[in-house]
Structure 1
Amino acid sequence: MRELTPVDDIRIRSIERGDEERLLAFWRYVWTSTYGSSLGSQVLDAMLSGLDRKGLSGMLPGNGERGYCALCGERLVGTAIAAERGQKAFLWGMYVDPGQQRLGLGTRLLSAVIADLALVSILEARALRSSPWAIAFYEGRGFRHNGDEAIELADGFSGTAAIMTFARALPPS
């Protein structure tokens, strides 16, 4: 078990060029811990193979995304990626170290992303239906379940994701 991180010791910053190796290792660890039992070894192996093959561009394709790291000292404990498209934004790659969950890190990371997307009235995330705790996390932070859709998990593998939507009124401009 990893040492628990006090939420006050967390620093959130943008993903930087030098973060690639650390991010890929973090996502490998989180995916293995999170999806290994719920999706099965074949799907997980295909996901990890895709991560190895595509590297950072698999998560950050370079279409105006913003990546966020949650750090305790220099240790990566969370990530999030968002892409703004007009007054709507899409969120993915929202992961917290499994040994650090339920301490407020995910809430703090999500709050920082929402604050950074000041001109966005709708934020949409996907949570795998096989991850009910992720759906509950978003619902507990004001997101509403807005239907389901099939998504590609890895080459040759798909799953069902809950569409989670957060809406807010923007101040008049």
Structure 2
Amino acid sequence: MDIATANAMTYQEFMDTFGNVVEKCPLITAAVWSKRPFDNFLQLENSVFDFIDALPTSGKQGVLRCHPDLAGRELLSGTLTAESRREQHQAGLTSLKPEERQELSQLNSSYKDKFGFPFVICAKMSEKGKILQQISERVQNSPQQELCQGIEEVKKICHLRLQDIRSLATPTSSLATPTKL
């Protein structure tokens, strides 16, 4: 998909395409749509990041609360978003051994008890061993450190989701060339 296609989308098309670049936060996508036209995908991405950065602490915590527990209830019940399902699968979280699932469940609970939001890591850039290590280490952080780290992970996830969307062909042509970031 090229930036001209994104700029030409109706509100509903834009929401359907970009609505989950930040997990379960379509309000961010709606706000970014109003900033069209974008010169390139980097400008679109930066608009998302600027929106997140401008949120008060409670808003940033809310963004983090929209993320599912890794290998948690939503995965087991089949209610993860398609994007999260693919990302958790890539990280090996859909095929955990019972003892790994138990360990991750306990770590998720400890983390949420301490910070009030789920542990967020870019699963697409990780694997289960790294995830278990990171959650064990990051639960030792201060709430402010972890809020900042979690938001940085959200931005990584968003960046990769936008890259995935860019790699899609435009509706009118399968020969569309992606615009450079």
Shared fold, TM over 0.5: no
Greater gyration radius: 2
TM-score normalised by the shorter chain: which range applies? under 0.3
TM-score (norm 1): 0.26
Q: Which has the higher contact order (CA 8 A, sep 6+)?
A: 2
TM-score (norm 2): 0.25
